[in-house]
Structures are given as structure tokens and as C-alpha cells.
Chains A and B, each alone.
Chain A
Amino acid sequence: MSSSMISYLEQPIDVQARLARLKARNIILSVEDLSKSFASSKDEIIALESLSFSTHQREFLCVIGPSGCGKSTLARILAGLEPASGGVVRLDGRPVQGPGRERGMVFQGYTLFPWLSVRRNVMFGLRMANISKAEAQRQADEWLALVGLEKFADAYPHQLSGGMKQRVAIIRALVNRPRVLLMDEPFSALDAQTRQRMQAYLLEIWRKVDITIIFITHDLDEAVFLADRILVLDAHPGRLREMIEVPLPRPRDAAQLASPAFIATKARLETLIHGTATNGEDEPYPTVPLLTNVSDEVE
């Protein structure tokens, strides 16, 4: 790395102050010595090994790592959809077991209930908590207005675009007032343009709501653009590689994608992740032999 290049470790004063304030806030969710292994026919596959970290109130934490590093498994354990093999997950200091409405989750595949209208999808969690229909509807409409979908309240999910579906999925989780919102590669099914708009929009929502977000992604740009801190995982087994503090000021905007700090952070992530891919993808692909007589058209 040349000396003229800005390091990802160099934080501007305002970012430094922001991160200091962030770390002074309450710890919402903490993971202590978490491990997860799957029994296969031959041996055990260790997905996660002695993983520890914690997130503070209103933090935006991204989890990134090479494919097969167990980042989705981590999200599912935090949500309570899968049991851990060892270690503890604490929410506000109390160990959690099984899924609960205080840990909302947004999935890659939208998972909206196709038989319910958009409004009823948003009302779902409230109704499960036995909140009256009228009150649930009032809150649902409020949230729908927040994300500009009030016109689609009576539409069915299959009538919405991918970005709209994911907005509904986000507020369906948020309407429950969870302590933490888990997002498992929520935008990876969207096209590039919609994904960028949704990233900006998610930050917009996050600024308005008191919510801690743990965001799983494999997209380096996405992680740097969104996160306060980025948790980088190793693969096989999934271990904490590094916790990166993103040296970008907030509010974020698309112009920052070209800033030296952004590029430096992304470069660091690249070294960390692509230096450690071990699931067969690290082997070089074979050279493709020339199969055409026409050689002057393609360079």
C-alpha cells in the first residue's frame, strides 16, 4: 500500500466522535463465544467458532465474509430460528432462546404472506400480539405512509415490485418495535439500481427510527455504504477476522462511493475476504482454450 493512499484506519474527527458516542450507548445485543456445527454423515462441519461481538443502540452493523463463512447461519441463530451449538446470545443482557418479536428479521426472499393484503401483512405481528384490529390498522397505515406505500395498502404482494415488497417486509418487522432488526442479504434479489435506492432508503428509515440493525451481506460496497462497523468473518470455520470501523461521515450519499476513505475501506475488505476464500473457489479456474477462428473481433 503506497503511503500517499489514505488508510481505512484514519478516521476524521467527526467520525471518531460519532463512533465514540455510539460505543458509549447501551449494548443491545451481545454474542459470547458463539459456535455452531452441523453433523454430516462423515464428520462435523463447523460453521461458526467462538464468535464474540456486541452491538450498541442505534448501531448499523454489517456482517460480511466469503461464501460459506456462516453469515446467514449467524443471522438465523440471532433470530432464534436455529439453535447455537455453544455460547450465548444476549438481548439487553438477557439470554435469548427461540425466535421472538423483539428481534425482527428481513429475509432475502421477501417472505410476505401472499394471501394477505399489504396492510394486513404489516398488521400481522401486531395481531399476533393480540393488539386490536383497529389499533393495528392505524399503526400499519402510519408505517405504510412512512415508506410511501399507503396507496398500495389494499394490494396483494404479488402486485408489487421487488423494492416495494422489501419495503413492506422492513416495516412489517419494524411495526413490532423490535430491539434489533436482522437483515439477511435483503437486497441481493433486487436489480442494481433498485438495490442502491433501497440502501439509501434503509438509511433514511434507520435515521428516523430507534433501531439497531445487523445487516448480512456479501456486497462490499453495500457494507461500506451502510455500516458504522463491519464484522468480517473468516470461512471454514466462521471466525471473527476483523471488526472494521467505517471512516465515513453520516449522512451517507452516493458521492461518498468515490471518496478515498470509501475506496480504502473497500480495499481492506477485499484483502480480508478474497485472501481467505477456501471453499474451492480459491483454486484458479482453468484457462479457456481458443474455440473460434475469428480472433480479431474480441479483445
Chain B
Amino acid sequence: MLNALEIAGTKPVLSETGDAVPGQWFRVRAPLSRRLRILLAVFSFLLPLAVWSAVSYVPFIWHPDMLISNPGDVDYLMPGMRVKKATFALEIANAKANHAAPPQGIPCNPVYLPAPGEVLKAFYTSFTTPPRDQNGLWLHQSLWQSIQTIFWGFVISSLIGVPLGILCGSHSGVAKLVEPFIEFFRYLPAPAFGTLAVAVLGIYAGPKIAIIVIGTLFQQILIIANTTRKADFALVEAALTLGTRNLRLLTSVIIPSVLPDLYRDQRILLGWAWTYLIVAELIGATSGISLFITQQSRYQHYANVYAAIAMIGILGLGTDLVLAALGRKLFPWDKAAA
């Protein structure tokens, strides 16, 4: 009758050494070895790359177009042009019917899906190729412009958002005065303020930074406030019995106790700021990485476009990894970060 209980009592469901238990194939949050963790992380990048490579290099998976190598007698075709396979077949049939030379070509993917190899090459060449336009920017110049926009947007947002959020999270009066309006305002999409920002701040860096601030600040206040609210009240009470009063409760107890969590919040918010970057750069005079992407797509240099987009990802992830490592150094007592 109590078989299940007896079994649970005699055989541990999870063995202490971490070895798999027979019959237990789905283990909730089972720890992984370091080697396996690294291996899986590498695979998480390799897997999408493998799919992309397969689609790019194995002809029968997709390749809906034909890359013309010899136009034959067809007037409008030129070497290097891509046409739909149906069109290509039609032209061959036409040429045969008219006893003209048929076009020749090889199957290929559409121009907007370059192969991984091309994008990899573009990573290098987009840094070494001078801009086509006279007033165009090199890729590294575009990136630097974008980084500056992000930096100032995030710094301005944080200078307002972090102190205000901490105040909201530690004082009920301030919270009630500030938060209802913020709750409303955060639903207004930041890009909607684009034209307004241009009218007020001109067409250069100003409105772009403003869009990032608008997009980040209101979420930031609420997130920082919520984190601050999670400060262990027992520590506040302990500090009270040790003679701590008023604002020193904030500076000596609440802020230090939530500092690692605030730091983590800031890392997540910085990621959000990046997502507003492209929209922000398209406002007013297009600038930064968005200008580079726009120009390259105009010339159908899609490999460069992909390289530029990937560059944003690499910059974002790189920054976050550096900040995470810095966090472990800054807060050695924080167990959650270890």
C-alpha cells in the first residue's frame, strides 16, 4: 500500500555524489560540471551557426535563387545577378524555343542572407574599407558614436533614476508621490517622443540621448525602487537598535544591503538602453551604427549589415561580462554573485 513511501525512504531520489539515479532522467536544477557548462555555452553559439551554415552551404536545403554566371542571350541578365529559380527556368525554356544560348547559373540564397564566411570576412573588411559617401563614417567611427550615445543616455538616466528609485523604495511618501505618474508614463513608447525631441533638442546627439533616457528612466525608477524595497528590514531594525537615525539608515544600511542587486539591475537596464539605440539614432540626422547599417543596406552590402548587427551584440555581451566580473570583485560578500 505504501510502496512509494517505502521506496522514497530507502533509496535517495538524488544521490549525494551527483551521479544519475536509474530512472531519474529529468533532474530539476541538477548541478553540472564545469566542463559541461563551458561545452554547453559553446554549443549555444555553435548550434545557430551550424543551422546558418547548413542553409548557406548545402544547396538543396533552401537556395531559392540562381546566381547568373553567364547570361547567354537573355538581354536583361548580367553576371552576378540573382533571379528566382522559376524565372531562370522560364528563360531557359524561352531560349531553347528560340534556339538562343540559354543562361547559366548556380543555385544561391537571396542577397539578404549572406553566408557565415562572407559575414566573417565583412567583420574585417568593414573596418578596412573607407566609407563610400564623402561624409560617410568608418565602421569604428559609427560604433564610437553609438557607444557615446548609449553612454550619455544611460548616465543621465541613472543620475536621475537611481537616487529617485532608492528614495521611492525607502520612503512611502516619496513612492506615493512619484510612482503613480511613472507607472503611467512608462507605457508611452519612447520613439513617440522622437519629433518632439528633435524640435526641442535639434537633430544631432541631443534627441537621440533623450530617447534613450525616456526609454530607460521610467523603468529604471520602478525597478530600482522595487529592489530597494526588498532590503532586509531586519537589518534596518538591527541598525535602529544600534542608534542609527534618519538618512544614515539609507546610506549605512539600505543602500549597502541592496547594492549588489542594484548593480545587477543596472546591468539589465544597460541592455535595455541598447535596444533603444537603433530607434534613437534614426531620429533627426541618422547617426552611428544605424547610419552605417542604412548605408550598407542601400548598397546591398548585407554581409556588412550582419557584421554591424553582430558587433552590437558582441559589444553588449562583452560589456555585461566585464561588468559581471567587476561585480564579483566589488561585492565579495555577495553570495548570489558568486
Contacts and interface: CB of A to CB of B under 8 A. Distances in A.
Given A115-B256, A128-B248, A156-B332, A100 B243 contact: yes
B10 interface: no
A81 B241 contact: yes
A158 B331 CA distance: 13
A81 B249 CA distance: 14
B242 A101 contact: yes
B235 interface: yes
A176 interface: yes
Contacts of A293: 1
Interface stretch (A52-60, A106-114, A217-225, A236-244): A106-114
B237 to A, nearest CB: 5
A124 B243 CA distance: 9
Instruction: Output the residue of B238, B256, B259 with the most chain A CB within 10 A.
Output: B238
A158 B336 CA distance: 12
Interface in A34-48: none
Contacts of B253: 113
Interface in A96-155: 99-101, 103-105, 107, 109, 111, 113-116, 124-125, 128-129
B85 to A, nearest CB: 65
Contacts of B334: 114-115
B257 A115 contact: yes
A173 interface: yes
Nearest to A159: B333
A239 to B, nearest CB: 26
Nearest to B255: A115
Contacts of B242: 101, 104, 124-125, 128, 172-173, 176
Contacts of B245: 128
Contact of B238 (A100, A107, A291, A292): A107
B235 A113 contact: yes
A164 B241 CA distance: 20
B257 A81 contact: no
A173 B241 contact: yes
Contact of B241 (A79, A114, A157): A79
A74 to B, nearest CB: 15
B29 interface: no
Interface in B228-258: 232, 234-235, 237-245, 248, 252-253, 256-257
B333 A115 contact: yes
B2 interface: yes
Contacts of B241: 79-81, 99-101, 103-105, 173, 182
A158 B333 contact: yes
Interface string B252-279: 1100110100000000000000000000
Given A113-B253, A128-B242, A81 B2 contact: no
B335 interface: yes
Contact of B1 (A81, A103, A291): A291
Nearest to A109: B234
Contact of B331 (A109, A111, A115, A128): A115
Given A81-B241, A176-B242, A107 B234 contact: yes
B238 A111 contact: yes
A113 B234 contact: no
Interface string A10-54: 000000000000000000000000000000000000000000000
Nearest to A111: B238
A157 B237 CA distance: 18
Interface string B295-338: 00000000000000000000000000000000000011111000
Nearest to B333: A156
Contacts of B333: 114-115, 156-158
Given A99-B241, A109-B234, A156-B332, A292 B2 contact: yes
Given A81-B237, A111-B237, A101 B243 contact: yes
B244 A114 contact: no
Nearest to B238: A111
Given A107-B234, A291-B2, A113 B257 contact: yes
A115 B257 CA distance: 7
B252 A128 contact: yes
Interface in A280-299: 291-293
Contact of B243 (A113, A116, A176): A176
A125 B243 contact: yes
Contacts of A105: 237-238, 241
A158 B335 contact: yes
A87 B326 CA distance: 53
Contacts of B257: 113-115
Contact of B244 (A103, A128, A158): A128
Instruction: Output the residue of B2, B232, B241, B252 with the most chain A CB within 10 A.
Output: B241
Interface string B1-33: 110000000000000000000000000000000
Interface in B199-255: 232, 234-235, 237-245, 248, 252-253
Nearest to B259: A115
Contacts of A80: 240-241
Nearest to A104: B241
Given A111-B238, A113-B253, A125-B242, 5 more contacts: A107-B234, A111-B232, A115-B334, A128-B243, A129-B243
22 contacts: A79-B237, A80-B241, A99-B237, A99-B240, A100-B243, A105-B237, A111-B232, A111-B234, A113-B235, A114-B334, A115-B331, A124-B239, A124-B252, A128-B245, A128-B248, A128-B252, A157-B333, A158-B333, A158-B335, A173-B241, A176-B243, A293-B1
Interface of A: 79-81, 99-101, 103-105, 107, 109, 111, 113-116, 124-125, 128-129, 156-158, 172-173, 176, 182, 291-293
